[in-house]
Amino acid sequence: MDGGSPTRRLKTPEALAWSDLPPVWEDFLRFHTSAVSLQAVVRLFEPLLLRCLGPSLLQRLLTGSVAPRPMGGPSHLVTDCQFVLNDPVAKRVVDRRLRSTLFRALG
């Protein structure tokens, strides 16, 4: 639990060590802490990063080694991803007025 909240936040190493983690989420966490994922984000913002960081630092972002914290060995760059679990709500409470107002706004 997170400070009394019905959620649990697991950083990548904690989530990957969890025995009940479905394979799809393991793949998700491994991808989103990988060099391929970081490079995709860097490429998305490449023009701005080039302007702000210059070509040598941008190149280091694109080619440096990457590891999720605090797993893996030494690396130039560190990534992180959180896996958040929400406990199911015991009883579903729906404010019908709010729901109809929201749906009316969509139409």
Rounded mean pLDDT, 7-17: 83
Under 8 Å between Cβ of 91 and 80: no
In the three-class reduction of DSSP (H, G, I as helix; E, B as strand; rest coil), residue 53 is classed as helix
Task: Encode 5-24: b = buried (16+ Cβ within 10 Å), e = exposed.
Answer: eeeeebbbbebbeeeebeee
**pTM reported for the whole predicted model:** 0.62
Average pLDDT in the chain:
80
Q: What is the pLDDT of residues 47-86, one digit of tens each?
A: 999 999 999 999 998 998 887 766 656 666 777 777 787 7
